[in-house]
Amino acid sequence: MPIPLVWVGERTRLIADTTEAGRNDAPHAYAMGMSVPGSCGVALALLIAACGNVGTSVQPGTAGSAGQAAGGAISTGGGPSDSGGAGVGGTAGSEQLPELHSCLEIANEAPCPERVLTASTLPLGSNDPGPVSLEGVTDLDGDLDIEDDNVGVLATLGCLRRVRGHVSIRSSQATSLWPLRNLVEVAYGVGGAGLSLQGKRLRQDCGFLALRRLGTEALGYRGSGIDLEATGMTQFELPALERIQHLRIVRNAELKRIQLPSALPLLDGQLWIRDNPALSELDGLENATLSLDTNKTATLPQYQFQNNPLLPGCVAENLRAHLVGLGADPATFLISGNASSCPK
């Protein structure tokens, strides 16, 4: 198993507790205080290692404050945010799917007390400083990378509101994103994606409904992008999002609906919605604004709406006309392979 790292000005190893007690308790990790020369600033890049066989059925975590943080945007519906596939607590083949939640539960949660995980809060300097639990952490000063075999650690993140790095989740297990229901801000991303989601049987389950900010103004909003490539997710909603640079929703076999704010500011990045065979609805963006980057040289078609056979073609054409009217270059659009009919 590769050993993950924590960047805390100097390089320090962070590994999981894989003892019997660690597997029975909530997943956690501990720092080994093994420094290596090298300057990495103050950012802390946290890569959670495997926590043993912790399971994937996520239960409601510690209460959070998304209802306050998202300005009420999360309470737009009463049911689970992703109720497709095999249904609540159902199975896909022989695989047990996570239990889904009602998003209205979030408004009734008590706010979490602030708990910041940074270099200064890690107990460094000893050979075995003990566990650093992620339970109750509201602010993570670094990256959150959930890998294929450790998605059970998500269950400890119900209070998380800010990640001052990127969030990447790659899972081949049936996984609920419910624990990230209170996440409001993701500060930075690699390759333009502050939020990257890849997986098998990935369920939004109210996760990210409070997400407002991607990237920071100080960094020119680098990382204000989202990559989504997952099976099992039937709808993807980001009702509170304030701006975005890149949105790449590609190869989502069961995705039926995308919901974005109507007047979402676009930062002249990549907008790719392609190869989604079940996608029939794209709600939002009809009043989107566009901030043009006059110094940018496009190397790929910037706007791609392709191979979504159930998505009415006029949706992409209308959005193209709207963005061209705002100054987008017509030559940067690729539109093909969508449905020919349009709703009346």
Cα of first residue to Cα of last residue in the chain, in angstroms, is 55
**Residue 75 counted as domain residue:** yes
**Residue 343 counted as domain residue:** no
**Residue 8 counted as domain residue:** no
**Residue 238 counted as domain residue:** yes
Strand partners, 121: none
**Residue 263 counted as domain residue:** yes
Domain of residue 91 covers 43-53+61-336
**Residue 30 counted as domain residue:** no
Q: What total of structural domains would you count in the chain?
A: 1
Rounded to an integer, what distance in angstroms lies between the CA atom of residue 248 and that of residue 270?
Answer: 7
Query: Which pLDDT tens digits describe the chain residue by residue (344 residues)?
Result: 332 323 322 222 233 332 333 323 323 332 222 222 232 222 344 433 333 322 222 233 334 333 333 333 322 334 455 644 444 344 444 566 667 889 998 988 999 999 998 755 544 343 444 445 688 999 998 888 888 766 777 889 999 999 988 899 998 888 899 999 999 999 875 556 789 999 888 899 999 999 999 987 776 666 689 999 998 899 999 999 999 989 999 999 999 999 999 999 998 889 999 999 999 999 999 999 999 877 766 566 899 999 999 999 999 999 999 999 999 999 999 999 999 878 76
Q: What is the DSSP letter of 320?
A: H
Give the contacts of 177 (CB within 8 A, at least 6 positions apart): 154, 169, 197, 202, 203, 204, 205, 206, 207, 208
Exposed/middle/buried for residue 294 (C-beta within 10 Å: 0-12, 13-18, 19+): exposed
Long-range pairs for 99-103 at CB < 8 Å and ≥24 separation?
99/57, 99/58, 99/59, 99/176, 100/176, 100/178, 100/203, 100/205, 101/60, 101/176, 101/178, 101/205, 101/206, 102/78, 103/74, 103/75, 103/76, 103/77, 103/78, 103/79, 103/181, 103/206, 103/209
Rounded to an integer, what distance in angstroms lies between the CA atom of residue 115 and that of residue 16?
Answer: 20
Amino acid at 167: V
> What global pTM score does this model have?
0.72
Rounded to an integer, what distance in angstroms lies between the CA atom of residue 54 and that of residue 17?
Answer: 12
Amino acid at 317: E
**Residue 36 counted as domain residue:** no
**Residue 72 counted as domain residue:** yes
